[in-house]
Chains A and B, each alone.
Chain A
Amino acid sequence: MGYTSSGSVILAAAGGTYVVGSLAATVVVLVAGGAAAVILTSRRRRRDRLAIRRQA
């Protein structure tokens, strides 16, 4: 019985860690992806602006 309770706690903890860990990983990926998208699109916009400026 004690063994079963301990096992349940361990499983619950592992499950909780898995859920929290996977969510955290997803958040990190999304933040990194979003930041990369913002940086890259800003660079593209800047290059577009440079391309239409009068040539020196």
Chain B
Amino acid sequence: MSSSVRYSARTDLRRRQGRPEPDPAAQAEGLAALISLAQLLAPRTKRISPPARRTSGVAVIIPARDEGADLGDTLRSLARQTLRPDRIVVVVNNSTDGTADAALSYAATEGPVITDVLEMRGVNRHRKAGALNCGIRYLLRDGVLPPEIGYVLVMDGDTELEPHFLKRARRVIDRDRSLGGVSAACLGKPIQGGTPWRDFLLLVQRIEYGRFAATRLRHNVHTMSGAGSFYRAAALNDLLDVRPDVFEERESNLVEDYETTLALKMLGWRVTSNQGCIAYTDLMPTMRMLFAQRVRWARGTVDEWRRYGWCHATWLSIAGVILSVPETGYELLLGAVLMRAFISRGGYIDYHFLPLAALWSAYQGFSVRHMGWKVVIFEMALIPEAIFNLIRSYWLMRSVVASYLGGKRAWI
């Protein structure tokens, strides 16, 4: 507790833990009475002492800013875990809605997990990284995570975990000692947009997340997802040996999860993802919000590449983007030529291209077959996905240019 006060004067501990502190004297009296009663009633059989409560060694940190509507579901998804965390730390980051109240009301109930609520007030220039570090500092003892904390899960305040997430993530990380973290496979929350346009935006995002999770090839993945990252405490302690914070507190750090991933990789740790560790993340219902989110991701990623340079942690991702440039150019050129021929020749279609389109269509449909037949048909139509891909490519290219020309950074 003292660590949070020492490191951040702006942080208040609003509640130490969810369960009320028991009175030791009353507890001892009650226990003695129970033992006497049990001795009277128990049959004369071999007595087996109850097993001690097993701890998972997992601590969870949830930075939350204006997540009052979703935070309760997030916390309940943690309570439903088949491997329960030992403690949860909610960092309420300058919220103006009922986030603090939602966290406190959960902490006050007789929940299965000890829940602490920290409240950051005033200016937090380092945004999410600042809130995450606030939660981590709260857990530190003598500058490192104590031995009883073997793993730290970092997740968003609007994300829900599949009930086996923690159990599976711990198995994955325990099998490979070189792993510093296991990232969630993110899927979109099943939310409704309310209008056809918003439904379309939500659908393309759901498809994007679903396909990304199902068609992953890499073991040592590009980045840990901020929506759900399960870290080995030893890896974070390694990081704390070489710098003051796990999440770098720098105003230009727009992608704190990716920066920390790169820092871990530079220390020799690997990170992976697993399709069985599922997190349901929030989707952007409007184009403006989606645009802001993606430009921040892309811009932040490019900025970090420029900081780290071409190295073993970055080269594969940079090469992927370089290869995507001619691919996007080819798509644009092909689309323009076909469109020109179609218009100038009165609806002309070159049937030579149909086999190519059929193959492309088949692969698109096949890659989303686990998402249901409606999504398969949507994907096999090709055009909507092609348009969304072009928009994403435009956002990426714009972010590359902005990074080099020093355009304004924005956070959402």
Q: Are B171 and A34 in contact (CB under 8 A)?
A: no
Contacts of A23 in B (CB 8 A): 352, 355-356
Q: Check if A30 sits within 8 Å of B360, measured CB to CB.
A: yes
- B366 CB within 8 Å of chain A: yes
A37 adjacent to chain B (CB < 8 Å): yes
Q: Is the CB of B366 within 8 A of A52?
A: no
* Least CB separation from A31: chain B residue: B359
Q: Which of B164, B171, B174, B216 contacts A41 (CB 8 A)?
A: B216
* Minimum C-beta distance from B300 to chain A (A): 27
Q: Are B171 and A27 in contact (CB under 8 A)?
A: no
Residue in contact with A55 in the complex, picked from B164, B171, B359, CB distance below 8 Å = B171
In the bound assembly, the distance between CA atoms of A23 and B357 in angstroms comes to 12
Q: Size class of A's contact patch?
A: 20 to 34
Judging by beta carbons under 8 Å apart, are B274 and A30 in contact? no
Which residues of B340-376 have CB atoms within 8 Å of chain A's CB atoms?
A: 352, 355-356, 359-360, 362-363, 366
Contacts of B175 in A (CB 8 A): 51, 55
Q: DSSP class of A's interface residues: helix, strand, loop or mixed?
A: helix
When each residue 156-181 of chain B gets 1 if its CB lies under 8 Å from chain A and 0 otherwise, what string results? 00000000100010011011000000
Binding site for B on A (CB under 8 A): 19, 23, 26-27, 30-31, 34, 37-38, 40-41, 44-45, 47-49, 51-55
Q: Is A52 a contact of B274 with CB atoms below 8 Å? A: yes
Main secondary structure of the interface of B (DSSP, over half): helix
Contacts of B217 in A (CB 8 A): 37, 40-41, 44
Additional A-B contact list (11), CB under 8 Å, known A30-B360, A52-B168, A54-B171: A23-B356, A34-B363, A37-B217, A44-B217, A44-B219, A48-B274, A49-B276, A51-B276, A52-B171, A52-B172, A55-B174
* Contact A37 to B215, CB < 8 A, known contacts A30-B356, A53-B171, A55-B171: yes
CB distance from B179 to the nearest CB of A (A): 10
A-side contacts of B277, CB under 8 Å: 52
- Tell me the B residues contacting A by CB distance below 8 Å: 164, 168, 171-172, 174-175, 214-217, 219, 274-277, 352, 355-356, 359-360, 362-363, 366
Q: Is B355 in contact with A45, judged by CB distance below 8 angstroms?
A: no
A49 CB contacts on chain B under 8 angstroms: 275-276
A19, B352: Cβ atoms closer than 8 Å: yes
Which chain A residue lies CB-closest to B356? Answer: A26
In the bound complex, what is the Cα–Cα distance between A45 and B370 (angstroms)? 13
Nearest CB to that of B214 among chain A residues?
A41
Residues in chain B near residue A37, CB distance under 8 A: 215, 217, 363
Nearest CB of A to B385, in Å: 16
Determine the distance from Cα of A38 to Cα of B174 in the docked complex, in whole angstroms.
28
Enumerate chain A residues within 8 angstroms of B363, measured Cβ to Cβ.
30, 34, 37
> Are A41 and B215 within 8 A (Cβ)?
yes
**Complexed CA–CA distance, A34 and B366 (Å):** 10
B270, chain A: closest CB distance, angstroms: 13
Query: Complex Cα distance A20/B155, Å?
Result: 53
Q: Kindly provide the distance from the CB of A33 to the nearest chain B CB, expressed in whole angstroms.
A: 9
B216 near A27 with CB under 8 A, answer no
The 4 closest A-B pairs by CB, nearest first: A52-B168, A52-B276, A48-B275, A51-B172
In the complex, how many angstroms separate the beta carbon of A31 from the nearest chain B beta carbon? 7
Residues of B near A19 (CB, < 8 A) are 352
